[in-house]
Chains A and B, each alone.
Chain A
Protein backbone atom coordinates (compact mmCIF):
# COMPACT_ATOMS: atom_id res chain seq x y z
CA UNK A 1 0.00 0.00 0.00
CA UNK A 2 1.88 3.02 -1.28
CA UNK A 3 2.00 6.00 1.02
CA UNK A 4 1.37 9.61 0.13
CA UNK A 5 3.39 10.35 -3.00
CA UNK A 6 4.74 13.80 -3.72
CA UNK A 7 6.72 14.96 -6.71
CA UNK A 8 9.06 16.36 -7.51
CA UNK A 9 11.23 15.81 -4.42
CA UNK A 10 13.28 18.88 -5.22
CA UNK A 11 12.31 21.82 -7.38
CA UNK A 12 14.43 24.82 -8.30
CA UNK A 13 12.81 27.87 -9.81
CA UNK A 14 14.03 31.36 -10.64
CA UNK A 15 12.15 34.33 -9.29
CA UNK A 16 9.04 35.00 -11.34
CA UNK A 17 8.58 31.44 -12.57
CA UNK A 18 5.73 29.12 -11.66
CA UNK A 19 6.03 26.12 -9.36
CA UNK A 20 3.70 23.13 -9.51
CA UNK A 21 3.76 20.60 -6.71
CA UNK A 22 1.90 17.33 -6.98
CA UNK A 23 0.46 15.06 -4.33
CA UNK A 24 -1.21 11.66 -4.71
CA UNK A 25 -2.93 10.65 -1.48
CA UNK A 26 -2.87 7.17 -0.06
CA UNK A 27 -5.25 4.75 -1.71
CA UNK A 28 -8.73 5.18 -0.32
CA UNK A 29 -8.00 8.62 1.13
CA UNK A 30 -10.22 11.42 -0.08
CA UNK A 31 -9.00 14.22 2.22
CA UNK A 32 -5.82 16.12 1.35
CA UNK A 33 -4.01 18.76 3.39
CA UNK A 34 -1.05 20.92 2.39
CA UNK A 35 1.45 22.23 4.94
CA UNK A 36 4.50 24.42 4.51
CA UNK A 37 7.70 24.27 6.54
CA UNK A 38 9.80 27.40 6.28
CA UNK A 39 13.47 27.19 7.35
CA UNK A 40 13.76 27.03 11.15
CA UNK A 41 9.98 27.13 11.52
CA UNK A 42 7.30 24.60 12.40
CA UNK A 43 4.94 23.24 9.78
CA UNK A 44 2.02 25.54 9.04
CA UNK A 45 -1.35 24.54 7.63
CA UNK A 46 -2.14 25.95 4.19
CA UNK A 47 -5.21 24.31 2.68
CA UNK A 48 -7.61 21.38 3.03
CA UNK A 49 -9.25 19.83 0.00
CA UNK A 50 -11.60 17.03 -0.85
CA UNK A 51 -12.19 15.80 -4.39
CA UNK A 52 -13.16 18.80 -6.54
CA UNK A 53 -13.66 21.00 -3.49
CA UNK A 54 -11.54 23.42 -1.50
CA UNK A 55 -12.82 23.10 2.04
CA UNK A 56 -10.52 25.50 3.90
CA UNK A 57 -7.80 27.68 2.39
CA UNK A 58 -7.43 29.98 5.36
CA UNK A 59 -3.71 29.22 5.72
CA UNK A 60 -2.81 29.94 2.14
CA UNK A 61 -1.45 33.33 1.02
CA UNK A 62 -4.16 35.25 -0.80
CA UNK A 63 -2.04 35.97 -3.85
CA UNK A 64 -0.02 33.74 -6.16
CA UNK A 65 -0.98 30.49 -4.40
CA UNK A 66 -3.74 28.13 -5.50
CA UNK A 67 -4.63 24.51 -4.94
CA UNK A 68 -6.86 21.95 -6.57
CA UNK A 69 -7.81 18.31 -6.17
CA UNK A 70 -9.55 17.22 -9.38
CA UNK A 71 -11.86 14.26 -9.73
CA UNK A 72 -9.07 12.38 -11.49
CA UNK A 73 -5.38 12.79 -10.77
CA UNK A 74 -3.28 14.24 -8.00
CA UNK A 75 -3.77 17.32 -5.92
CA UNK A 76 -1.78 20.29 -7.23
CA UNK A 77 -0.35 23.20 -5.28
CA UNK A 78 0.52 26.00 -7.67
CA UNK A 79 2.67 28.99 -6.89
CA UNK A 80 2.81 31.71 -9.50
CA UNK A 81 5.62 34.26 -9.83
CA UNK A 82 7.69 32.68 -7.09
CA UNK A 83 9.81 34.81 -4.78
CA UNK A 84 12.75 33.86 -2.55
CA UNK A 85 10.48 33.78 0.49
CA UNK A 86 8.57 30.86 -1.06
CA UNK A 87 11.63 28.63 -0.57
CA UNK A 88 10.45 25.95 1.83
CA UNK A 89 9.47 22.32 2.17
CA UNK A 90 5.88 21.71 1.13
CA UNK A 91 4.23 18.67 2.64
CA UNK A 92 1.05 16.97 1.62
CA UNK A 93 -0.92 14.76 3.97
CA UNK A 94 -4.02 12.65 3.52
CA UNK A 95 -6.59 10.89 5.65
CA UNK A 96 -9.44 8.52 4.90
CA UNK A 97 -11.89 10.73 6.72
CA UNK A 98 -11.85 14.11 8.35
CA UNK A 99 -8.92 14.37 10.71
CA UNK A 100 -9.86 14.14 14.31
CA UNK A 101 -11.03 10.60 14.72
CA UNK A 102 -8.78 8.44 16.84
CA UNK A 103 -8.22 6.10 13.92
CA UNK A 104 -7.58 8.88 11.45
CA UNK A 105 -4.11 10.31 11.95
CA UNK A 106 -2.53 12.27 9.17
CA UNK A 107 -0.24 10.41 6.77
CA UNK A 108 2.43 12.68 5.34
CA UNK A 109 4.39 12.49 2.11
CA UNK A 110 8.14 13.08 1.87
CA UNK A 111 7.62 16.66 0.78
CA UNK A 112 8.80 18.84 -2.08
CA UNK A 113 11.72 21.11 -1.33
CA UNK A 114 11.32 24.28 -3.33
CA UNK A 115 14.32 26.52 -3.82
CA UNK A 116 13.84 29.90 -5.47
CA UNK A 117 17.01 31.45 -6.87
Chain B
Protein backbone atom coordinates (compact mmCIF):
# COMPACT_ATOMS: atom_id res chain seq x y z
CA UNK B 1 0.00 0.00 0.00
CA UNK B 2 1.41 3.36 -1.06
CA UNK B 3 2.18 5.85 1.70
CA UNK B 4 3.17 9.46 1.11
CA UNK B 5 4.94 11.47 3.79
CA UNK B 6 5.63 15.18 3.75
CA UNK B 7 8.20 16.83 5.95
CA UNK B 8 8.03 19.26 7.62
CA UNK B 9 4.36 19.49 8.54
CA UNK B 10 4.71 23.25 8.93
CA UNK B 11 7.32 25.77 7.92
CA UNK B 12 7.68 29.49 8.58
CA UNK B 13 10.21 31.55 6.63
CA UNK B 14 10.93 35.26 6.12
CA UNK B 15 10.04 36.79 2.78
CA UNK B 16 12.68 36.41 0.10
CA UNK B 17 14.11 33.16 1.39
CA UNK B 18 14.52 30.10 -0.84
CA UNK B 19 12.98 26.95 0.59
CA UNK B 20 12.56 23.24 -0.04
CA UNK B 21 9.58 21.05 0.73
CA UNK B 22 10.06 17.30 0.91
CA UNK B 23 7.87 14.40 -0.14
CA UNK B 24 8.64 10.69 0.16
CA UNK B 25 6.68 7.68 -1.05
CA UNK B 26 7.04 4.01 -0.25
CA UNK B 27 6.19 2.35 -3.59
CA UNK B 28 8.31 3.44 -6.55
CA UNK B 29 5.84 1.99 -9.08
CA UNK B 30 4.29 5.35 -9.89
CA UNK B 31 2.94 6.88 -13.09
CA UNK B 32 3.46 10.46 -12.08
CA UNK B 33 3.77 12.80 -9.12
CA UNK B 34 1.94 16.07 -8.65
CA UNK B 35 2.44 19.02 -6.36
CA UNK B 36 -0.67 20.96 -5.41
CA UNK B 37 -1.32 24.12 -3.49
CA UNK B 38 -4.32 24.35 -1.14
CA UNK B 39 -5.48 27.68 0.26
CA UNK B 40 -7.72 27.74 3.37
CA UNK B 41 -11.30 26.92 2.46
CA UNK B 42 -10.38 26.48 -1.17
CA UNK B 43 -9.74 23.65 -3.55
CA UNK B 44 -6.46 22.34 -4.86
CA UNK B 45 -4.45 24.04 -7.57
CA UNK B 46 -2.09 21.85 -9.56
CA UNK B 47 1.39 23.39 -9.56
CA UNK B 48 3.61 20.85 -11.26
CA UNK B 49 3.20 17.34 -12.65
CA UNK B 50 6.25 15.13 -13.16
CA UNK B 51 5.99 11.95 -15.19
CA UNK B 52 7.85 8.94 -13.79
CA UNK B 53 10.35 9.16 -16.65
CA UNK B 54 11.20 12.77 -15.86
CA UNK B 55 13.64 14.14 -13.29
CA UNK B 56 12.26 17.63 -12.81
CA UNK B 57 9.75 20.24 -13.87
CA UNK B 58 9.92 24.01 -13.57
CA UNK B 59 7.28 26.71 -13.52
CA UNK B 60 8.32 30.24 -12.68
CA UNK B 61 9.82 30.28 -9.20
CA UNK B 62 8.92 26.65 -8.61
CA UNK B 63 11.05 23.63 -9.38
CA UNK B 64 10.06 20.08 -8.57
CA UNK B 65 12.42 17.13 -8.74
CA UNK B 66 11.71 13.43 -8.72
CA UNK B 67 13.98 10.54 -7.74
CA UNK B 68 11.75 7.55 -8.30
CA UNK B 69 14.26 4.93 -7.22
CA UNK B 70 14.69 6.48 -3.79
CA UNK B 71 11.02 7.44 -3.49
CA UNK B 72 11.63 11.16 -3.06
CA UNK B 73 10.49 14.44 -4.52
CA UNK B 74 11.30 18.00 -3.56
CA UNK B 75 9.55 21.25 -4.32
CA UNK B 76 11.92 24.21 -4.42
CA UNK B 77 10.44 27.70 -4.09
CA UNK B 78 12.76 30.56 -4.94
CA UNK B 79 12.50 34.04 -3.46
CA UNK B 80 9.43 33.26 -1.36
CA UNK B 81 6.61 35.81 -1.12
CA UNK B 82 3.77 36.23 1.40
CA UNK B 83 1.39 35.14 -1.35
CA UNK B 84 3.08 31.74 -1.34
CA UNK B 85 1.59 31.05 2.09
CA UNK B 86 -0.59 27.96 1.73
CA UNK B 87 -0.54 24.22 2.30
CA UNK B 88 1.45 22.29 -0.28
CA UNK B 89 0.37 18.76 -1.08
CA UNK B 90 2.27 16.02 -2.83
CA UNK B 91 0.35 13.22 -4.57
CA UNK B 92 1.46 10.14 -6.48
CA UNK B 93 -0.42 8.27 -9.17
CA UNK B 94 0.13 4.50 -9.31
CA UNK B 95 1.33 2.86 -12.49
CA UNK B 96 -0.96 0.40 -14.22
CA UNK B 97 -4.70 0.32 -13.75
CA UNK B 98 -6.18 2.86 -11.39
CA UNK B 99 -3.78 5.69 -12.20
CA UNK B 100 -6.55 8.08 -11.10
CA UNK B 101 -6.30 6.88 -7.50
CA UNK B 102 -3.89 9.49 -6.26
CA UNK B 103 -2.32 8.97 -2.85
CA UNK B 104 -1.83 12.27 -1.06
CA UNK B 105 0.46 13.33 1.74
CA UNK B 106 -0.91 15.37 4.62
CA UNK B 107 0.81 18.47 3.35
CA UNK B 108 3.28 21.10 4.47
CA UNK B 109 1.75 24.32 5.76
CA UNK B 110 3.96 27.19 4.62
CA UNK B 111 3.89 30.66 6.14
CA UNK B 112 5.98 33.38 4.51
CA UNK B 113 6.46 36.29 6.89
CA UNK B 114 6.65 39.79 5.34
Contact = CB atoms under 8 A, between A and B. Distances in A.
B18 interface: no
Interface stretch (A67-75, A78-86, A102-110): A102-110
A61 interface: no
Contacts of A95: 100
Interface of B (DSSP majority class): strand
Interface string B16-28: 0000000000000
Given A108-B43, A108-B44, A111-B43, A98 B100 contact: yes
Interface in A1-46: 3-4, 6, 31, 33, 35, 40-45
A4 B46 CA distance: 13
Nearest to B54: A102
B98 interface: yes
Contacts of B100: 31, 33, 45, 48, 56, 95, 98-100, 106
Interface stretch (B67-75, B77-85, B103-111): B103-111
A113 B42 CA distance: 10
Nearest to B47: A105
Nearest to B36: A108
B89 interface: yes
Contact of B104 (A42, A48, A56, A110): A42
B31 interface: yes
Contacts of A91: 43-44
Contact of A100 (B32, B43, B46): B32
Interface of B: 4, 31-32, 34, 36, 41-46, 49, 51, 89, 91, 93, 98-107
Interface of A: 3-4, 6, 31, 33, 35, 40-45, 48, 56, 58-59, 91, 93, 95, 98-100, 102, 105-111, 113
